Chain A
Amino acid sequence: MSAATRAPRLPPRAKLRTEELVGSAVRHAILIVLVILCLAPIVWLLITAFKPYGELFSSPPTLFPIHPTLVNFAGGWSVGGGRGIRDSLIVATSSTVLCLILGFPAAYALARRFSAHGQLSFTILSLRMLPPIVPVIGFYLMFQKLHLYDTYIGLIIAYTFMNLPLVIWLLAEFIRQIPRSYEDAARIDGAPWFWMFRDILLPLSAPGIMTAAILSMMFAWNEFLFSLVLTGDNVITLPKALADFFLFQEPNWGQLGAIGIVAMGPLLVLSYLMQRYLIRSFTAELGGR
């Protein structure tokens, strides 16, 4: 929409062409600057991961490592990164499986029996609006009483509580798009409910289940406050390992960057592939309205 098009009489074609080109070049230039702004701190962390210890604290800093090294990856792994990845995997995977087992039947019932914008859908989703600091105090006091503090089970429960509303909502939205006639046909043919589930519902909703599973994994993997409060020395998830590493030791930025990359790299690649669904999940909080 260049301003030139406003005039009812069109300007000579050559002039229009130049203006368009300049406008387009300016737009691309601004966008490239924005992309650089978006990526700069992350890229810097990435570069730092390959710097040897001596180069980390040089002032002014070196743009590229003079002696690139991989020692930070080994060091980061042994200093707590490996432990963090293990515990995060345990907690994130278990809570995701639990979310799917509880969530899929509920989503099916919700999709087939309730309106997408009804009271029940909204109530379930509104749990996701809570600022996590509110449930976390209650969870802490409760877990102290139940001896679930600093256990895998406790954290798995907390993450399931956090992710289940989203999983139900996403799956219900997905199941609503599956034509009901498939199920009806199976039922008329006299198929038991389990067959219908296994042969029709499960294969058809597999992409939805994958999406919900990956998102739930991702949120549990990134979550910090719950693991900070609800666990001590027994369970140390990755974000907590990173925070401990930073706050209670001399910050070795190379190792920290290395852990960050190993922990976030696969996730980032995945999230580029799943952007569409990720955005949907961020906007889910209003989906029940």
Chain B
Amino acid sequence: MADLTIGYGKSSRWGRKPRRDDGVTERGTLLLLGPALLFLAVFAIWPFCYLIYASFTSYQMAIPVPIHWVGLGNFQVLVKTTRFWHSLGVTAAFALVSVPLQLLIGLCIALLLNAVTRGREVYASLLLTPMMLAPIVVGFAWELFLNPIYGPLNALLKGIGLSPPAWAQSPVWALPTLVAVDIWQWTPLVMVILLAGLRSIPPRVYEAAKVDGSSAVQTFFNIVAPMLLPYFAVAFVLRFIDSFKVFDIIYILTRGGPGTITQNLAYYTYDLGFGRFQFGRSGALSIIQLLLLTIGTMLIIKLVAKRNVPTAAVAGPAANAKEGA
């Protein structure tokens, strides 16, 4: 570390090139970055090796039989089960139904907020509440709220003469309920990203459009939408990645049930690994998820952003969040 202190511009005593004008030497960089990178590398690679190893073997913790190599056997068995395809469908429901709905609703709310002048910050703060909460507490709050016997929602619906279902406990409504809770919790994130995008459009753009006689709808599609696209791409990719992480609300609200109806890939992986201790299959399933997530994310980036997601869009929400929120 002493190397960091050597006078400005002097050539290093280690015989390397003189320091660059950024003031940190090669060796200094290594010393500074080393511990963190080592930590991340060790705890990324080591467990990952276990995961790969498990996914190619008949690793079962509860059964004391010797572990043997099964090659792609775990993957083959998985692909043949209907439970795998069903859980893939549930994950797709979050990724391809919940996320687009979040984007749509988030866009509407952002446009609404952008049109409001008084109290925008207060509204935005309050609307952001769901995403600030621990998913586990969100799960409990909804479990209580939707309870068919003593929950307020069904009492209200019965009060106006409807016969509401048992939501999370009903085979038909369980998945839509989870999707709704996911939308409820994460639309605010989409909203705040898009609001930051809208706030970044200078008012004179709208004024110019108005002077040219462009209607509100025309202004939106021809001017606002293209300028919003990078922000939209950011929100889409973020929410797509996160849609694979849905676990806590399923664990609390339905436990994957009724039966296995609401098990997504993450929950099925958890169930295989820690419910049945079949770490071989569980590992294989988590690798499948990783591949799907990577391919899906790449596709979306290609689709929405054509090139890479522009940096400005990422810096944008961060820099403009204060303005927007």
Q: State the A residues within 8 Å of B (CB).
A: 1-3, 5-6, 8, 24, 27-28, 30-31, 34-35, 37-42, 44-45, 48, 56-61, 63, 102-103, 105-106, 108-110, 112-113, 117, 124, 127, 129-135, 137-142, 144, 157, 160-161, 164-165, 168, 173, 180, 183-184, 187-188, 190-193, 221-222, 224-225, 228-229, 239, 242-243, 246-247, 253, 256-257, 260, 263-264, 267-268, 271-272, 275-276, 278-280, 282-283, 285-287, 289
B225 contacts chain A at the CB level, 8 A cutoff? no
Contact B314 A276 (CB under 8 A): no
B238: which A residues are within 8 A, CB to CB?
282-283, 285-286
Within 8 A of A (CB), among B119-171: 119, 123, 125-138, 140-145, 149-152, 155, 158-159
Contact A24 B116 (CB under 8 A): yes
Contact A260 B145 (CB under 8 A): no
Interface flags, B43-69, vs A, CB<8A=1, else 0 = 110111111001000010100000000
Bound-complex Cα distance A30 to B35 (A): 52
Q: How far is the CB of B224 from chain A (nearest CB, A)?
A: 10
A106: which B residues are within 8 A, CB to CB?
32-33, 35-37
Contact B140 A35 (CB under 8 A): no
Partner of B36, one of A103, A247, A268, A285: A103
Bound-complex Cα distance A244 to B94 (A): 26
B35: which A residues are within 8 A, CB to CB?
102, 105-106
B234 contacts chain A at the CB level, 8 A cutoff? yes
Q: Enumerate the 5 nearest inter-chain pairs by beta-carbon distance, A residue then B residue, closest first.
A: A138-B47, A106-B36, A222-B134, A109-B32, A60-B155
A184: which B residues are within 8 A, CB to CB?
8, 23
Contact A42 B141 (CB under 8 A): yes
Q: How far is the CB of A209 from chain B (nearest CB, A)?
A: 15
Which stretch from B71-79, B96-104, B240-248 is at the chain A interface? B240-248
Contact B252 A137 (CB under 8 A): no
Contact B7 A190 (CB under 8 A): yes
Bound-complex Cα distance A192 to B1 (A): 10
Contact A112 B247 (CB under 8 A): no
Whether A225 touches B289, Cβ cut-off 8 Å, given contacts A28-B116, A41-B142, A280-B321, is no
B260 contacts chain A at the CB level, 8 A cutoff? no
Interface of A is mostly: helix
Contact B126 A35 (CB under 8 A): yes
Partner of B33, one of A28, A105, A160: A105
Q: How far is the CB of A139 from chain B (nearest CB, A)?
A: 5
Bound-complex Cα distance A5 to B216 (A): 9
B222 contacts chain A at the CB level, 8 A cutoff? no
Whether A39 touches B40, Cβ cut-off 8 Å, given contacts A6-B215, A57-B150, A132-B245, is no
Bound-complex Cα distance A282 to B115 (A): 25
Whether A44 touches B314, Cβ cut-off 8 Å, given contacts A142-B47, A246-B140, is no
How many interface contacts (CB-CB < 8 Å) are there between A and B?
A: 290
Partner of A276, one of B151, B193, B322: B322
Bound-complex Cα distance A285 to B189 (A): 14
Q: List 26 A-B contacts (CB under 8 A).
A: A1-B206, A1-B210, A38-B129, A58-B150, A60-B159, A102-B35, A102-B36, A103-B36, A106-B35, A109-B29, A129-B241, A129-B297, A133-B247, A133-B269, A141-B47, A141-B279, A157-B43, A161-B39, A164-B40, A187-B5, A188-B7, A229-B270, A246-B143, A256-B140, A267-B132, A279-B189
B177: which A residues are within 8 A, CB to CB?
none
Closest B residue to A279 by CB, please name it.
B321
Interface of B is mostly: helix
Closest B residue to A124 by CB, please name it.
B40
Contact B149 A40 (CB under 8 A): no
A112: which B residues are within 8 A, CB to CB?
22-24
Contact A289 B309 (CB under 8 A): yes
Whether A34 touches B145, Cβ cut-off 8 Å, given contacts A113-B29, A187-B7, is no
Closest B residue to A3 by CB, please name it.
B216
Interface flags, B1-14, vs A, CB<8A=1, else 0 = 11011011000000
Q: How far is the CB of B68 from chain A (nearest CB, A)?
A: 17
Contact A287 B314 (CB under 8 A): yes
Closest A residue to B148 by CB, please name it.
A59
Closest B residue to A158 by CB, please name it.
B43
Whether A263 touches B137, Cβ cut-off 8 Å, given contacts A39-B126, A133-B286, is yes
Contact A138 B51 (CB under 8 A): yes
Contact A187 B150 (CB under 8 A): no
B248: which A residues are within 8 A, CB to CB?
224-225, 239
Bound-complex Cα distance A6 to B273 (A): 62
Partner of B127, one of A35, A229, A271, A282: A35
Bound-complex Cα distance A28 to B268 (A): 43
A141: which B residues are within 8 A, CB to CB?
47, 50-51, 54, 59, 279
Closest A residue to B220 by CB, please name it.
A1
B107 contacts chain A at the CB level, 8 A cutoff? no
Bound-complex Cα distance A3 to B37 (A): 57
B322: which A residues are within 8 A, CB to CB?
276
